[in-house]
Amino acid sequence: RAPVASRWRLGTAVPRGPAMDLFGDLRRMNKRQLYYQVLNFAMIVSSALMIWKGLIVITGSESPIVVVLSGSMEPAFHRGDLLFLTNFHDDPIRAGEIVVFKVEGRDIPIVHRVTKIHEKENGNIKFLTKGDNNEVDDRGLYKEGQNWLEKKDVVGRARGFLPYVGMVTIIMNDYPKFKYALLAVMGAYVLLKRES
C-alpha 59/C-alpha 105 separation (Å) is 25
Contact 117, 124 (CB under 8 A): no
Q: Taking each helix axis as running N to C, give the angle between helix 167-174 and helix 176-192, from 0 to 180 degrees, rounded to the nearest 10.
A: 110
Active site residue 138: yes
Strand ordering across the sheet containing 125-130: 65-67, 82-86, 154-162, 98-101, 110-119, 125-130, 149-150
Catalytic residue chosen out of the listed positions 61, 72, 81, 153? 72
Q: Are 62 and 56 in contact (CB under 8 A)?
A: yes
State yes or no: is 112 an active-site residue.
yes
Catalytic residue among 61, 81, 138, 153: 138
User: Is 78 designated active site?
Assistant: no
Q: Report the catalytic residues.
A: 72, 112, 138
